[in-house]
């Protein structure tokens, strides 16, 4: 879905409280019961129903038809608003501009701070295009049969933030990360254009060598980009230097398939230069050499990132998701010309998620195999949540693993 920030300034504090209650309830319910929303929000029942109606009209939450009980689910629009409010409360972002990019699983917008300095806001939307491809391959999601796309999107944003922050601190050619919240990532705006838009350059050999050197430098620091192609490389207008973007699929050189990912990155660049610039070189890096040599770096950034809070468990969940998607999705990012087709497919995942909810994977009065009470302990849980809700509203922790 497209981001529409028009109503963001008109959402009241109570409406955000109800929206946050739906988000909290989504951790254990695919469809959050209306009484539970009222209980978590701590507002009067009659008032909550009015607020729910207002949020539903703005498509920030959606009522699930034919459900076994009256309830709502959080939409990506509502998740967008929660994330942007968190960024706004931290004075990281003040206004939202035009959309400047669309990918398979992310939207990119121009935004600005209070002083009018332009930045880039990236909103991860995993499951939008790949939903049908991965629908039958969701074993790694365990009991989360709805595929919890917002949780996966938050994981992708957290991973990209962790890697981009570490890479920028070690002078790699990446955008400067500014802030992140839930599934959103805020970074500096760079005056550049994608490599795929370049039709001719005076010295393709020089750029080819620079891009290969970046691959080697990544590997010497213990990392492999995993999706290193013309869609994820920007060329600065003033200097012509490359800038690398898009890091949710980045893996460590100790990964079981590290050599395959490395060789794929190298081959993507070789293929692009051969087709676009009719340039082909017999010189290209090999994984064994690249992972053992470097520019003198005596650190392993994959270890540094793990120490920063990005856990192996989260890494495994996201990698398994990416692997399942890659089996059925073409390499690279969608062209701008694919935007219309992408928007048509966007609504389908939501419809299929609703069908899963109707199947009763998370019935209101059942206890799952992990011992999670959904009815008996609900009152105790929601009482604790209500106490902490005032602290949670507007914060950026978002979905945690159900």
pLDDT, tens only, 275-287? 999 999 999 999 9
Annotated active-site residue 338? The verdict is no
Active-site hit among 80, 107, 179, 227 = 227
Confidence at residue 67, expressed as pLDDT on a 0 to 100 scale: 81
Lookup result for tokens 């209500």? 386
Q: What single string gives the DSSP state of each residue in 2-58?
A: ----TTGGG--HHHHHHHHHHHHHTTT-SSEEHHHHHHHHTS-HHHHHHHHHHHHHT
Model-wide pTM > 0.85: no
Confidence at residue 326, expressed as pLDDT on a 0 to 100 scale: 59
Is 165 strand, coil or helix?
helix
Confidence at residue 204, expressed as pLDDT on a 0 to 100 scale: 94
What is the rounded CA–CA span in Å between residue 71 and residue 37? 9
Chain-centre distance of CA 160, in angstroms?
8
Q: Which residues lie closer than 8 Å to 209 by C-beta, 6 or more apart?
A: none
Q: Which domains, and CATH codes, for the chain?
A: 1-89 (1.10.10.10), 191-289+300-327 (1.10.510.10)
Burial 203-235 (b: 16+ CB within 10 A, else e): ebeebbeebbebbbbbbbbbbbbbbbbbbbbbb
What is the rounded CA–CA span in Å between residue 34 and residue 53? 11
Confidence at residue 390, expressed as pLDDT on a 0 to 100 scale: 44
10-residue mean pLDDT profile of the chain (402 residues): values are 81 94 90 92 85 94 87 93 94 92 88 94 80 45 55 88 92 96 95 93 94 94 92 94 92 88 95 95 88 57 62 64 58 42 39 36 36 40 45 46 40
Give the C-alpha distances (Å, rounded to integers) separating 89 from 9, 72, 118, 154, 261. 12, 26, 18, 19, 39
Q: What are phi and psi of 370, to 5 degrees?
A: -90, 0
Confidence at residue 325, expressed as pLDDT on a 0 to 100 scale: 60
pLDDT, tens only, 185-203? 999 999 999 999 999 898 9
């Amino acid at each position: 879905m497209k981001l529409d920030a028009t109503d963001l300034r008109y959402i009241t504090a109570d409406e955000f409280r109800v929206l946050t209650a739906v988000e909290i309830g989504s951790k254990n319910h695919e469809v959050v019961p209306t009484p539970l929303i009222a209980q978590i929000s701590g507002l009067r029942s009659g008032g909550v129903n009015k607020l729910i109606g207002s949020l539903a009209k703005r498509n920030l939450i959606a009522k699930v038809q034919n459900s076994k009980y009256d309830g709502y689910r959080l939409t990506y629009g509502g998740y967008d608003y929660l994330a942007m409010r968190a960024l706004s409360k931290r004075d990281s972002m003040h206004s939202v501009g035009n959309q400047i990019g669309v990918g398979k699983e992310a939207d990119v917008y121009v935004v600005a701070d209070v002083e009018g300095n332009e930045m880039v806001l990236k909103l991860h939307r995993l499951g939008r295009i790949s939903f049908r491809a991965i629908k039958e391959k969701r074993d790694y999601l365990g009991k989360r049969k709805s595929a919890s796309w917002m949780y996966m999107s938050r994981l992708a944003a957290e991973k990209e933030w962790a890697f981009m922050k570490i890479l920028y601190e070690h002078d790699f050619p990446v955008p400067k990360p500014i802030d992140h919240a839930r599934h959103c990532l805020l970074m500096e705006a760079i005056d550049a254009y994608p490599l795929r838009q370049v039709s001719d350059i005076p010295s393709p050999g020089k750029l080819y060598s620079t891009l290969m050197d970046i691959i080697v430098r990544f590997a010497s620091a213990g990392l492999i980009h995993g999706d290193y192609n013309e869609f994820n490389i920007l060329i600065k207008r003033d200097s012509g230097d490359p800038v690398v973007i898009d890091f949710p699929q980045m893996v460590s050189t100790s990964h079981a398939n590290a050599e395959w990912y490395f060789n794929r990155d190298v081959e993507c660049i070789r293929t692009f230069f051969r087709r676009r610039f009719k340039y082909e070189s017999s010189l290209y890096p090999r994984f064994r050499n690249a992972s053992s040599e470097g520019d003198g770096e005596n650190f392993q950034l994959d270890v540094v990132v793990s120490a920063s809070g990005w856990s192996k468990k989260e890494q495994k969940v996201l990698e398994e998701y990416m692997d399942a998607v890659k089996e059925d999705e073409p390499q690279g990012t969608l062209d701008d010309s694919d935007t219309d087709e992408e928007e048509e497919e966007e609504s389908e995942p939501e419809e299929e998620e609703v069908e899963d909810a109707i199947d009763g994977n998370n019935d209101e009065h059942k206890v799952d195999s992990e011992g999670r009470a959904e009815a008996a302990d609900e009152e105790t849980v929601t009482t604790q949540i209500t106490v902490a809700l005032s602290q949670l509203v507007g914060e950026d922790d978002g979905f945690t693993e159900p």
